[in-house]
Structure 1
Amino acid sequence: MARKRGSKKASGSNSVDLPASKVKNLHHFVRGTWQHGYAQAWTKVQKVYFPYNLKGSHWVAIELDFVRHTATVYDSYIDYTKRSKLVTLLHRISDTLARELFEEVKQKGLTMSMYTPFSVCSIAAVPQQRDGTSCGILTVKFIEHLSAGMSVDKVDTLKIKYYRLKLAIEGLRGEAYL
């Protein structure tokens, strides 16, 4: 039985404490040693983009900016998660990511004055989904646009079916960066 967005079951746990196995995988991303070869060490880039699941039922795109030390959230369904809750929901992951980056910088002998969690902010004017199921594909499109240096305003919510079909075809051909 599918859970409705915002139900008590869906929002029961807001904890983002990462188990040791997840932190181990996080080390691979931070160091750029992920097995699929698409990664670069975070100490060599200015920004990282990734999808993140809020409360187990809603996907958002996150941009980590290492220069500004911010975690910017691009949310296609702002009516589901109010902006004030984003900071609370993302605090632990922001803290964990900052701690991992700080440890990597220290191990490489680079200087970083002190460890501080990323400041969490959100962008208000992003295309909004018209249903309760398009957050995943819109998250993928936001990340594609941002990583290509394009505005997320170019994402057309009327083309959701096309975006899904295109991603499925690219995945079947082995052309998608999954």
Structure 2
Amino acid sequence: RMSEERGWELMWLATGLFACSQGLLRELTLFLRTRRYPIAQDSLQRLQKTLRNGQRKYPPHQVEVEAIQHKTTQIFHKVYFPDDTDEAFEVDSSTRAKDFCQNIAQRLNLRSSEGFSLFVKIADKVISVPEGDFFFDFVRHLTDWIKKARPTRDGITPQFTYQVFFMKKLWTNTVPGKDRAAD
């Protein structure tokens, strides 16, 4: 039973990262459609999203692994704003930075997400997330890079927490007063 559960957790993670070969796709789709295991349908939807949105470059982020291990397929991520407020937004394995920004702008009733970006603050660095990047790929890459750059002490790799900010990236195209919510 435990082995089967772990297998389904792995299936859920894998289908959100990459698609199988065309030769195996029909069989995998049929397999997922005919299973009664609760996570099978979600894995099928993740596979279809991966086929539509493209494959990830990095292994799953720790947040994704912990979510499925805690039997949840929803992941909420806290986002901080310049006015010292924060809100939680749902993200998934296929969420790109541009989509994340659009979701935030929509919830904040902004006219557009143009000129806004996500910024990740980790250790003493603040780095803008490229809009085409998968959100969790960027964070995974960044945390891996910081871990390599920072030496381990007594054989213990330091754990780094990060914060995500939603802010204006460029102010050159901004017309004050055009969108009061964005100002």
Shorter-normalised TM range:
under 0.3
Q: TM-score, with normalisation over the residues of structure 2?
A: 0.24
Q: TM-score, with normalisation over the residues of structure 1?
A: 0.25
Indicate the structure (1 or 2) with the bigger Cα radius of gyration: 2
